């Protein structure tokens, strides 16, 4: 089911039957309507035009609430043992330092030692969340991590073309998500 939209890249245009490249989902009066259009028909509907517009550099920053202190130098200032590695997603602390982005939720535990000083600097010394707790907090850390691991295994099963194992892992993931 999940691939439908993207197999949808090969869908036909609702209007003329050529291959559709524009896919919109609209809600009108509570009804969900999907539209697939080719570029010409979309353009005729005022939805899109073929164009090659120089990128406006203006007004762009406000959109993205990107983290103000993304810069990995922050992390780099601090000497951190380079042996920290996440066994779920495979990211190590050095890779995180160079990219500034973590690989998976488990990294917060795996990189704990390296992250704590960074968190303190970024958050006025705080390292403990005291805000909102979601209902799904009932989903224990254990379950969240189990899901992550299953997905990592699935990834490697797929790359090894072990489809039988992949199918059984997908079932396990579905099962666990429902529980």
Partner 1 sequence: MKLSDLTHRAGEWLRGVGPMHDVVISSRVRYARNLAGMPFLSRCTGEQLRELETRLRDTVLDSRLADEMLYVDVAAAGKLDRELVVERHLISRQHADGRHPRGVAISGSETMAVMVNEEDHLRIQVLRSGLQLSEAFEDLSRIDQLLEERVSFAFHDRYGYLTACPTNVGTGLRVSVMLHLPALKLTGQIEKAFRAAKELHLAIRGLYGEGTEATGDFFQVSNQTTLGKSEPQILEEFSTEMVPNFIDYERKARHALLNRQARALEDRVYRAHAALRSARLISSEETMYMLSLVRLGASLGLIKDIDVHTLNELFLQTQPAHLQRLLNREMDGQERSAARSDFIRRRLSQN
Instruction: Check binding of 50 to partner 1 (CB under 8 A).
Output: yes
- Taking a C-beta distance cutoff of 8 angstroms, is the pair 66, 110 a contact? no
Q: Which of residues 9-48 bind Zn ion (CB under 5 A)?
A: 13, 15-16, 18, 38, 41
Per the listing, tokens 């535990």 go with: 109
Instruction: Check binding of 139 to partner 1 (CB under 8 A).
Output: yes
User: Could you say which DSSP state residue 138 is in?
Assistant: G
- Residue 5 C-beta: closest distance to partner 1, Å: 5
Q: What is the DSSP string of 80-130?
A: --TT-B-TTT--BHHHHHHHS--SSTTHHHHTHHHHHHHHHHHTTT--S--
Size of the site for partner 1 (CB under 8 A): 92
Q: Which of residues 145-174 bind partner 1 (CB under 8 A)?
A: 146-148, 150-152, 155, 158, 173
- Residue 83 C-beta: closest distance to partner 1, Å: 19
Please say which residue, 82 or 108, places its beta carbon nearer to partner 1. 108
Instruction: Check binding of 90 to partner 1 (CB under 8 A).
Output: yes
Instruction: Check binding of 89 to Zn ion (CB under 5 A).
Output: yes
The Cα 77–Cα 121 span in angstroms is 11
The Cα 64–Cα 73 span in angstroms is 21
């Amino acid at each position: 089911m999940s691939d439908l939209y993207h197999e949808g890249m090969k869908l036909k245009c609702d209007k003329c039957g050529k291959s559709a490249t524009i896919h919109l989902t609209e809600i009108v009066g509570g009804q969900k309507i999907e539209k697939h259009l080719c570029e010409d028909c979309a353009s005729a509907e005022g939805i899109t035009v073929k164009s090659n517009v120089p990128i406006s550099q203006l007004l762009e920053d406000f959109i993205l609430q990107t983290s103000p202190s993304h810069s990995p130098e922050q992390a780099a200032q601090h000497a951190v043992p380079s042996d920290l590695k996440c066994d779920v997603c495979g990211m190590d602390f050095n890779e995180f330092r160079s990219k500034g982005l973590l690989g998976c939720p488990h990294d917060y535990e795996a990189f704990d030692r390296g992250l704590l000083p960074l968190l303190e600097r970024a958050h006025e010394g705080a390292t403990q969340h005291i805000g909102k707790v979601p209902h799904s907090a009932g989903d224990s850390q254990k379950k969240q991590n189990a899901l992550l691991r299953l997905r990592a295994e699935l990834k490697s099963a797929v790359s090894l073309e072990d489809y039988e194992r992949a199918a059984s892992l997908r079932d396990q993931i579905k099962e666990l998500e429902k529980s």
